[in-house]
Structure 1
């Protein structure tokens, strides 16, 4: 039985694209921010420095908001599998269902237990136990991402299974779980989460410094974040290149779409594998209407040789070619952002070396602070465009080379598809507006500098009230 029309298929695809696009902005910040919260709390324990405590409690509030939005949209996405892709859910159940079950047991339930201690345990459990809870939230959020990405990676490079009698039967669990895409895609995604969190913290801190509020407190968060980004940003670029090599080996049609590479040339001295900086792909004509190209560069990027052969879309049947325009430009936006964030991190490191990120001097770097605020949004766009590249370039396959999207979509009318699209859009927008409303509310209010610092089951004391404007940088006062 086929769906009623191509329009219903298109609407179902757009619906799931909307759901994943709105969900993917939350889990990476949860993963990366959990790591940074563990670091700041650990530093507080080691140094007994109040500023680390204040930073932990402030960014923990933003973490809680983001975590709640991620859970709400994540549950919705799992529900959407059954609604929008019923045949796929049934066929892939022997592997896909097991992996999601592992995620629930080993990550989601694990995280749910410790996040309660992390949020509500202040002053009720010992400092070491609270740090242990924060560590487990950090670990479980990464485990959750690992299982979810493993399921998606298997759809990209399905190994260890055979498709028989309408079901994907697992023949080798090790090969299925450790599929080629997962081994590279998970580190790439995990580092993206850390990079997002670093620039999120740096951007929020830059806003406070630019406003002249709690400068000493947020100067510390900004400086540590930007110095860490100097390491993380180039590592992410390297992992992205490594993932591109995996795509070349296992999804050559996807790579050709990402590069707007329509024709395959042999290594015969021609500028055969030029890299298109920009172009206007024409799927119907099987060529680019125009392009600005660097000769030989695509070969250097993808094969690390001057005249290596990179397959073009002409090597694949028309029905098995992905659309080109969106993957082509979304891939370039992602890459451009990756390098832009690296250059911002280098800018910050240069300022730090020159002593311009000290408490006394940091407010003078107004253009750098503005760049950091802008950069806080760039990782979100990079994750969006990276995900669009990954999913659209896989088309027409739902499970690459084994099941098409048309075969896996639920059988529904155009009216039913529109109903679910509208319903999911309203829900996701409600969560999005709610999350950003509370983000803005917490950031406008600022960190709590007056409440008692808690240790174990007893408060240590109260800070003395600041003697000057509450929006100015409060003096550092040890607890009584």
Structure 2
């Protein structure tokens, strides 16, 4: 019944749901812009069918992202009132900028994108799709800026425990922001890429929707071949930034407890069971010096160990250590699958190689898992601070009793189980049905229904899906 623990559990529960849908729609909006551009360029009906198919998936995902986002913002006032009071002068404007620049842009063009086909000119409709895609990226910009400031705060003055903005450019473009923005946007694109590739591989595996599936898988392989290696590079730069600005988080990621002998370097721990009580690793499997090469780009470089700070200043090591390895492991599997796909493509067997198709099917949801693991590294690794080095999480929680937090947590869990369970089931059915030939809709004068909300876009029956 500890209100701090329950509030952290509730925040983690809600953010874990929320981050999945915006991340997916960030990549999906750009994919829709690409597909509609191909349709306008080629006039090939397959591209048009793919556009309508993925628009339905986008509409449902966007709707669920909005629902979970409302709960996310609601928590700041109920569970983290002290954080809102002390950092609201900085976080409030940043989140307001997101609404003013991104949400309004998306809201303006979303209706045209979802319901304007056949009602506005083709160029205007394409512009609306591009603006929605741009809006998702602008939204990412502001959200990551706010979160990055909490990781690496600068550009503020502290007066009586309250943060006041002193330099907005320093606040927005804080030290970790460029790396985290690039890392998150690429993660969102890769997540969508592997969903598209996995869905297309499933169709080819079953022998359905072959032509749309071929195009989707071909595009997924090409895009992944660019973005996955790029993500490895950006992740390395991000790691160097963490080493400079959040060394304790990096030590937790590597379960690095103490300095070795002079010139020994840092080993790369492949597996271990971190023992926080004894300040050591049990069952450790490590490669000597490789950690120095990866983490410092030097054969004998060192990083600050966990024992350099008191235990009260360290994050929980186990979840950070394991989450980081899950994220990196999935990234390596993605890279191997891309290489295998390129090899199969070169041999002209990309669409027939059952091992490659099986790999894409198995990796369909891998991006979501990697995003969650990476987010846990970022957020848990920041502990015990909510604003790194300045405001402890224990001091940011609202003065409420544990029973109230527990009650709201139970209600959220029950509501999410119903709402998101139904939403995910519906998405699964839509994906199973697949892209079908789609003629342009009738004009309003023709008597066609005009939906007024995103979730009403996929209104056809999903029974008898392939």
Q: What is the distance in 1 between the residues matched to 2:10 and 2:219? A: 40
- Measured after TM superposition, the shift of residue 448 of structure 1 is 2.7
Q: Is the 8 A contact 2:272 2:283 kept in 1?
A: yes
Matched position secondary structure for 1:398: strand
Q: What is the distance in 1 between the residues matched to 2:425 and 2:370? A: 23
Superposed CA offset, 1:86-145 (max 9, x none): 100111111100001001111112101111100000110011000000000000001111
Match of 1:299 in 2: 292
Question: Which of 263, 274, 277 matches 1:269?
Answer: 263
Superposed CA offset, 1:140-177 (max 9, x none): 00111111111111110001112221211111111110
1:339 aligns with 2:327: no
Q: What is the distance in 2 between the residues matched to 1:371 and 1:24? A: 25
- Measured after TM superposition, the shift of residue 430 of structure 1 is 2.6
Question: Which of 442, 445, 453 matches 2:440?
Answer: 453
Q: Is the 8 A contact 2:434 2:465 kept in 1?
A: no
Q: What is the distance in 1 between the residues matched to 2:445 and 2:192? A: 31
- Measured after TM superposition, the shift of residue 265 of structure 1 is 3.6
1:326 aligns with 2:313: no
Q: Is the 8 A contact 1:125 1:456 kept in 2?
A: no
Q: What is the distance in 2 between the residues matched to 1:171 and 1:69? A: 37
Superposed CA offset, 1:452-473 (max 9, x none): 23699999xxxxxxxxxx999x
**Distance 1:181-1:471 versus aligned 2 partners, 3 A rule:** closer
1:37 aligns with 2:32: yes
Superposed CA offset, 1:14-54 (max 9, x none): 11011111111111110001111100100110111111111
Q: Which moved more, 1:278-287 or 1:325-334?
A: 278-287
Match of 1:98 in 2: 93
Q: Is the 8 A contact 2:432 2:465 kept in 1?
A: no
Question: Which of 169, 178, 200 matches 1:174?
Answer: 169
Q: Which moved more, 1:430-439 or 1:246-255?
A: 430-439
Match of 1:121 in 2: 116
Matched position secondary structure for 1:26: helix
- Measured after TM superposition, the shift of residue 269 of structure 1 is 2.8
Gaps of 5+ in 2: 447-463
TM-score, L = length of structure 1: 0.91
Q: What is the distance in 2 between the residues matched to 1:122 and 1:367? A: 39
Question: Which of 114, 117, 130 matches 1:135?
Answer: 130
Q: What is the distance in 2 between the residues matched to 1:295 and 1:408? A: 41
Q: What is the distance in 2 between the residues matched to 1:337 and 1:381? A: 8
- Measured after TM superposition, the shift of residue 414 of structure 1 is 1.7
Match of 2:44 in 1: 49
Q: Is the 8 A contact 1:100 1:147 kept in 2?
A: yes
Question: Which of 147, 153, 162 matches 2:157?
Answer: 162
Match of 2:391 in 1: 403
Match of 1:244 in 2: 239
Q: What is the distance in 2 between the residues matched to 1:187 and 1:334? A: 16
CA RMSD of aligned residues (A): 1.8
Q: Is the 8 A contact 2:145 2:172 kept in 1?
A: yes
Gaps of 5+ in 1: 460-469, 473-480
Q: What is the distance in 1 between the residues matched to 2:443 and 2:154? A: 50
Question: Which of 3, 21, 28 matches 1:8?
Answer: 3
Match of 1:284 in 2: 277
Question: Which of 423, 427, 430 matches 2:415?
Answer: 427
Q: What is the distance in 2 between the residues matched to 1:165 and 1:386? A: 34
Matched position secondary structure for 2:269: strand
- Measured after TM superposition, the shift of residue 189 of structure 1 is 0.3
Q: What is the distance in 2 between the residues matched to 1:458 and 1:370? A: 47
Matched position secondary structure for 1:453: coil
- Measured after TM superposition, the shift of residue 264 of structure 1 is 2.4
Match of 1:477 in 2: none
Q: Which moved more, 1:207-216 or 1:251-260?
A: 207-216
Number of matched residues? 449
Match of 2:372 in 1: 384
Q: Which moved more, 1:435-444 or 1:304-313?
A: 435-444
Q: What is the distance in 2 between the residues matched to 1:139 and 1:53? A: 21
Q: What is the distance in 1 between the residues matched to 2:300 and 2:203? A: 51
**Distance 1:320-1:471 versus aligned 2 partners, 3 A rule:** closer
TM-score, L = length of structure 2: 0.93
**Distance 1:117-1:424 versus aligned 2 partners, 3 A rule:** same
Q: What is the distance in 1 between the residues matched to 2:127 and 2:44? A: 19
- Measured after TM superposition, the shift of residue 206 of structure 1 is 1.1
